[in-house]
Amino acid sequence: MGHIGLMPQRSSSIGGFIVQGRSGKSASVILDAALRLQDAGVFALLLEAVPGVVGRHIAENVRNVPIIGIGAGSAVGGQVLVVNDALGISPKTPKFVRRFAEFGESAQTAIESYVAAVKSRDFPSKEESYLMPRDQFQSLRSQAVPQPPAENPTELPESNTKASTTVEASTAKPAAGNLLAQAILGEDTIHEPPVHAS
């Protein structure tokens, strides 16, 4: 597949993302490239960022391969857009793009909701977690687990302090171990005595 007109991968050498073919001379160069690529045997041509009249002229003169336009007017054989542009995910889009949706806004809202649910431990819920037979979990918990020597850090990293807060009374939030047990066993979880972070 041939690519003519603006080629983004070469934009730095031409001063940026600039519309091509605005003069008769430059449009003639693009048409000549299209004809050469047709003769070379390409199965299609992508024509990017040219005036609509140039797109029409090239489509009328290159008859053996389809011309697919991206910012080349409506007279070419087909159209293509970058999916992130068409769905409104990209924050900025070229003039030739029509944003058929604004998924970027809904995606941002969804990600913020996900982060909040994780931080509050609302996600995953019991319904979103896999279950384990109670006796099998009790068997697992009865096994001795080797522990590394305590390092007695003077200050816990911020990433650990949230999950290592002291549980002093029944009104406090469950420790991480109890949260795991509740997620696995459900409502019949045995609540342990208060746990103190080391």
Catalytic residues: 48
User: How far apart are alpha carbons 108 and 103 in whole angstroms?
Assistant: 8
User: How far apart are alpha carbons 105 and 192 in whole angstroms?
Assistant: 44
* Bond before 94 cis per omega within 30 degrees: no
Residues 189/129, Cβ–Cβ less than 8 Å: no
Those residues whose C-beta lies under 8 Å from the C-beta of residue 75, and which sit 6 or more positions away, are 52, 55, 56, 59
In this structure, what DSSP letter does residue 48 have?
A: E
